[in-house]
Amino acid sequence: MTEEARKIRLVMELRKSGITNTRVLSAIERVPREIFVLPSFVDQAYENTALPIDQGQTISQPFVVAFMTQALEVRPRARVLEIGTGSGYQAAVLSRLCRRVYTIERFKSLLRQAEISFKALGLHNVVTRHGDGMLGWPEQAPFDRIIVTAAAKEIPPALTEQLADDGILVLPVGQNAWEQSIVKVTKSDGRLESRDLLPVRFVPLVEGVVRESVSVRH
Ligand code: SAH
C-alpha cells in the first residue's frame, strides 16, 4: 500500500470514529506525519497509533490529535497556544486551521527538531518557545484557544488566566497514567466551565525545563 493510500485509510478511519469536522480532517490530510516520526517508524506514520519520539516522549495517536483539535473549535483568525510541542505534529495540524500557533516545549532538543520540521514544511505561522508550559506565555496572552498535549494533575491556573473570554482550553487531566480524561474548559464572562470528553493516556506534564545537550537527529 502506498503512503497516500495509507493516509486515505487513516482519514476514513477518523471519520468513522466520530471526527466529522471537515476542516480538521483536511488539515490531517495535508500534514505529512512521516516528517514528525523517528526514521525507524516512518512505515507506521499513518497507523492510528501513538509512536515513540526522542526523550521518552510520544507523538500522539492521530485519533487523539483529531479529537482534541475538533474539540478546540479553531477558527481561522484564532491565536492558539500549545503546551508540549513534542514532535511538532499537533502544532503543524493547528497551523493549517488558525492564524498563529504559539508552542512551548521543555526539552530543547525536541523543540529544535520540531523547528526543522516546521521549516521544511514552510509553516511560517508557528512560533516556538523553550520553557515551562505550565506558566503559559504571558507576553502573548490572552489566547483564543489553548491545548495541552501532556497530562496535568490539575488544570494549571496560569493557562485559564491566559485564556481569552469566549476561549476554549482542551487538555488531558488525571492523577495518574490510568485515570486521565480529555477535559474541555470554556470561559465566558470570566466564568469557567469544564466537562470530561474522553478517557486517554498521555505522558505527564512536568514542571521545569531541560537544557540537555543531546544532539539533534539528522
Ligand atoms: N503535541 C506533541 C505531543 C508530544 S508528547 C506531538 O504532536 O508530538 C508531550 C510533550 O509535552 C513532550 O514533548 C513533553 O516534553 C512536553 N511537556 C511536558 N511537560 C511540559 C511542560 N511543563 N512544558 C512544556 N512542555 C512539556
Domain boundaries, the chain: 3-200
Give CA 165 to chain center in angstroms.
Answer: 21
Ligand 1 closest atom vs CA 87: 8
Query: Is 33 a pocket residue for ligand 1 (Cβ < 6 Å)?
Result: no
C-alpha cell at 169: 482550553
Cβ pair 91, 117 in contact under 8 A: no
Query: Is 117 a pocket residue for ligand 1 (Cβ < 6 Å)?
Result: no
Q: What integer pLDDT is reported at residue 217 of this predicted model?
A: 54
CA separation for the pair 85, 176 (Å, rounded): 21
Q: What integer pLDDT is reported at residue 218 of this predicted model?
A: 47
Q: What integer pLDDT is reported at residue 176 of this predicted model?
A: 87
- Domain covering 3-200 assigned CATH 3.30.70.20 in the classification: no
Own/partner contacts of 18-21, CB < 8 Å, gap of 24 or more, are: 18/67, 19/63, 19/66, 19/67, 19/70, 20/70, 21/69, 21/70
Q: Active-site positions?
A: 60
Cβ pair 33, 117 in contact under 8 A: no
CA separation for the pair 108, 131 (Å, rounded): 9
189 Cα to the center of ligand 1, angstroms: 30
191 Cα to the center of ligand 1, angstroms: 27
Q: What integer pLDDT is reported at residue 35 of this predicted model?
A: 97
Q: What integer pLDDT is reported at residue 212 of this predicted model?
A: 74
Query: Is 106 a pocket residue for ligand 1 (Cβ < 6 Å)?
Result: yes
Q: What integer pLDDT is reported at residue 77 of this predicted model?
A: 98
Cβ pair 75, 81 in contact under 8 A: no
Ligand 1 closest atom vs CA 134: 22
Q: What integer pLDDT is reported at residue 178 of this predicted model?
A: 84
Q: Which of 149, 162, 180, 207 maximizes ligand 1 atoms within 8 Å of its Cβ, making it the mutation to test the pocket?
A: 149
Closest C-alpha residue for ligand 1 atom 10: 84
**Alpha-carbon distance values, 82 to 44, 130, 155 (Å):** 25, 12, 14
Burial label for 23, CB within 10 Å (0-12, 13-18, 19+), is middle
Q: What integer pLDDT is reported at residue 213 of this predicted model?
A: 57
54 Cα to the center of ligand 1, angstroms: 11
Ligand 1 closest atom vs CA 150: 9
**Where is 3: in which H helix or E strand?**
helix 3-16
Per-residue pLDDT of the chain (218 residues; tens, 9 = 90+): 888 999 999 999 999 999 999 999 999 999 999 999 999 999 999 999 999 999 999 999 999 999 999 999 999 999 999 999 999 999 999 999 999 999 999 999 999 999 999 999 999 999 999 999 999 999 999 999 999 999 999 999 999 999 999 999 999 999 888 899 999 999 999 999 999 999 998 989 999 999 875 555 54
Query: Is 132 a pocket residue for ligand 1 (Cβ < 6 Å)?
Result: yes
Query: Is 110 a pocket residue for ligand 1 (Cβ < 6 Å)?
Result: yes
Cβ pair 159, 183 in contact under 8 A: no
Cβ pair 191, 165 in contact under 8 A: no
> Among all chains, which residue has been given the C-alpha cell 514528525?
36
